[in-house]
Structure formats: structure tokens, C-alpha cells
Amino acid sequence: MNLSAAAALTDPETFGKSADENSSHEKKKSEKAEDTTKRREQTLQGRKKTKRPEKKKKSGRKVRAGIRGRYATYEPELRGLIGKYASENGNQETKEYFLSHHGIDLPESTIRGLRDKYLIRFKAQTDVAKGANA
């Protein structure tokens, strides 16, 4: 008995089949593997890379567009100015002031956040100053 015949007896897929049936089975197996490879390549080629919108600069802020939407980053000096103005004049007046004078349309939630951060820092600085004077 030759080696391929012994292998045919021990292989559960080919056991009990003739040599012609075994060779056609092997052809089908290799064709199926080739088809799978071709489909995988086509899928990878067909995928389009998603591009994020380009960055734009608008008076004092950089706008970053991402998956969640547009986010604006403000320079630290501008953030402090917004926080101080909001703590002294209120949110709505701050919104109107920065829109008319600086051309920046600020969301009210941003104004609130910057105001709160400004007040926390301002309070921390005054506490440090009071501790130095004591």
C-alpha cells in the first residue's frame, strides 16, 4: 500500500471514497479557499476610509470636527476673559457681548463651565493670597 492510500484510509473525510472522488473533493476544497480569499480581498478593497472634516480657525478658537461632532478649543487667555465676564455680568450678557464684539457664538453651557472654572481658580488664588498675608 502506498503512502497516499494509507493517508486516504486514515482521513475521515476521504475514508471509503475512490481516488477520483478524493481528487474532486480536494479541488472543491481549494476552489472554496480561493473564493474566500478573493472575497476577503474585494471586501478590503471596497472599504472606504472615513475622512474627518478639515480643521478650521475662527476668531480665537480652533474647531475640531470628529466623530461626535464639532468641538471648539479656546486659548487660555480667552477662556479666562469669558469666565471673568460671565461671573461679573451673567451668562446671557456674556453670550451677546462675545457675539457682537468678538464674533464668537458661545454655547451657554460653555459659558457656565468657563465661569465655574474661573471662580474656582479665583477663589483658590484669593485663599493663597490670604494665607500669605496671615
For residue 51, is pLDDT > 80?
no
Q: In which band, very low, low, confident or very high, does the pLDDT at 57 lie, cut at 50, 70 and 90? A: low
For 77-87, give one letter per residue: b (16+ CB within 10 A) or e. ebbbbbbbbbb
For residue 9, is pLDDT > 60?
no
Q: In which band, very low, low, confident or very high, does the pLDDT at 49 lie, cut at 50, 70 and 90? A: low
For range 93-105, the mean pLDDT: 95
For range 1-30, the mean pLDDT: 60
Question: How much is the mean pLDDT over the chain?
Answer: 76
Question: Of all residues in the chain, what percent carry a pLDDT higher than 90?
Answer: 35
Q: In which band, very low, low, confident or very high, does the pLDDT at 33 lie, cut at 50, 70 and 90? A: confident
pLDDT higher at 15 or 123: 123
Tens digits of per-residue pLDDT, 80-91? 999 999 999 999
Dihedral over alpha carbons 117, 119, 124, 129 (to 10 degrees): 140
State the Cα–Cα distance between residues 39 and 134, nearest whole angstrom.
77
CB 74 within 8 A of CB 113: no
For CA atoms 26, 28, 31, 32, the dihedral sign is: negative
